[in-house]
Structure formats: structure tokens, C-alpha cells
Amino acid sequence: MEKPKSNLKIVTDHRTRVILPNMLTLIGVCIGLTSIRFALDGKFEFAIIAIMFAALIDGLDGRIARLIKGTSKVGKELDSLTDMISFGVAPAFIMYFWVMNNLGRLGWLLCLIYVVCVALRLARFNVNSNQEPSWKDNFFEGVPSPAGGILVMTPLIFSLSGLDKFYIFSLNYNILSMIFFITTSILLISKFPTYSFKKIVIRRRATIFLLFGIILFFGLLLIYTFEVITISSIIYLTLLPISFFHFKRLKKQQKDIEKDENEDLEDVL
């Protein structure tokens, strides 16, 4: 006589799908906090690498959650809190321990302003994420917090890359850091359109080249870590005006389409 199968489960299938992305998010919190510890010890190279790992996990946890259908309200709020720590608090502390403390109270004030701007950016993102899908989903309003966290540390990353030796004049990292703090803070809370890279369509024929490019990028990142991050930051800054004009062009096209549709309706009536 066969024994009846037990339906008792410690964790349901849905709960299992929710736990995995949330675990990744919590790992990102730990890595972000660990970067502050590295900065306290003066190990700024490891602090930057920790932030990069946190950014990588931040890009994966949400996609994994959607892929395995494990999204949840808790995960959404947890992701924002993680971004606040890893790309708000941690970069501010890293930069303060590196050079901003040389500016005294002004340096600390700029760090506070940056962290507040990250908090406002995340709050606005959570509110706007409930809107209906549209062509605007290809753009963020302002710079996203992971990009802001890396941008604000660009002077430190540039100094670690050794590329500053090619300059014929010495750089004043105090002033340069102030400029990046102020500019990044403004970009975070502004409505400046920036590429989100969420809905990129890759043709099947180009898939092999995409995979090769990703492998090449991470290979160079392992060998020339800070040089690659510096160049990537420069490329991202170059894309900002391109994304602005692209957004304006798409917005104009959308207005023309809506205008034509309204005219068609008027003719029918």
C-alpha cells in the first residue's frame, strides 16, 4: 500500500521565488556597508570595487525577480533602501574620507546634500514607477542613483587609474570633487532625460557580438579596473546631451502622432 504524498512545504514556491532576489538585495547592502569599512582603513581601491559589485547586484536582482516572477512590494522598497546605502551614503563617506574632509564643514555639507538628493531621487522613482507603460520608459528622469554614486566618485577613480599622469598640469582634486558633487546632486533631482537601457532590442544576428562585447568589457575590467571605469564614466557623461536631444526628438514625434490622430477623429465626426 502506497503512502499518501505529503503536501507539507516549509516554504511555498512563490515564497522561494521572492526570497532569492531579496537575498541578492541584502547582499548588496552588506557590500555597500563594507565599502565604508574599506574607506575607513584607507583602502579606497577595495571601496570602489565593492561599490561596483553593489551596482552589478543592483542591476541583477530586479531582472532576476521579474524573470522568475518573484517581484514583491517588500522587494521594491528593500531595493530602494539598498540603493540609498550603496549609492548614497557609501560614496559620500568614501569621498569624505578621501578628500572632502580637507574642505572642512563645506565638504561635509556637500556630502549631506548629495545623500539628500539620492533620497529624493529614489522617492520620485518609486512614485513614478506605478505609471502606465509608454515610450518614456526608455528614459530616466535625472541620473539614476547607481550612476550617480559612480559619477560622484569619478575624481577618486581617475586618480587611482593613473591617467592623470598624462596631464601637463596638476589637478586640484578638492575643486574637482566639489564640481562633481554639485553637478551630480543637480542631475539626480533634475528631470534631465537619461537613457535607461531597459528596452534595448537586440537582433538575433547581433547576439553573438553582444556576448563578445560583454566578455571583452569584463575582461578589460578585471585587468584595467580603474582605467575602464574612468573611460566608462566619460562615455556616460558624453551620452547625457545625446539622450537629451533624443528625448526631445521623440517627444516632438509623439506630439505629431497625437495631433494627427485628433485630426482624424475630428474628420470622422
12-32 tens-digit pLDDT: 555 667 787 888 888 989 999
CB 32 within 8 A of CB 208: no
Amino acid 231: pLDDT: 92
pLDDT value of residue 251: 84
Q: What is the mean pLDDT of residues 61-83?
A: 78
The pLDDT value recorded for residue 95 is: 96
End-to-end Cα spacing for the chain? 75
Helix, strand, coil percent values for the chain (each to nearest 5): 80, 0, 20
In tens, the pLDDT along 191-247 reads 898 988 766 666 777 788 888 888 998 899 889 999 999 999 999 999 999 999 988
Going from the N-terminus, what domains does the chain have, and what CATH number goes with each? 13-128+136-202+229-268 (1.20.120.1760)
Rounded CA-CA distance 86/41 in Å is: 18
Long-range pairs for 27-32: beta carbons < 8 A, 24 or more residues apart: 27/57, 28/54, 28/57, 28/58, 28/61, 28/82, 28/86, 29/81, 29/82, 29/85, 29/86, 31/57, 31/86, 32/82, 32/85, 32/86, 32/87, 32/89, 32/90
Q: What confidence tier does 1 reach under pLDDT thresholds 50, 70, 90?
A: very low
Specify the pLDDT at position 10. Answer: 45
- Percentage of residues in the chain with pLDDT exceeding 90? 46
Q: Residue 64: pLDDT band by 50, 70, 90 thresholds?
A: confident
Sequence-distant (≥ 6) Cβ neighbours of residue 100 within 8 angstroms: 107, 108, 110, 111, 177, 181
- Which bin fits 67, alpha (ψ -120 to 50), beta or left (φ > 0)? alpha
Q: What is the pLDDT of residue 204?
A: 76
Q: What pLDDT score does 18 carry?
A: 74
What pLDDT was estimated at residue 149? 94
pTM of structure: 0.85
130-163 pLDDT tens trace: 666 666 778 888 899 999 999 999 999 999 988 8
- The answer to whether residue 82 scores a pLDDT higher than 60 is yes
pLDDT at 172: 86
**The pLDDT of residue 259:** 74
Average pLDDT for residues 77-94, to the nearest whole number? Answer: 91
- Dihedral pair phi/psi, residue 193, rounded to 5°: -75, 125
pLDDT tens for residues 4-13? 555 545 445 5
Q: What pLDDT score does 261 carry?
A: 67
DSSP state at residue 59: H
Report, as an integer, the average pLDDT of 95-118. Answer: 94
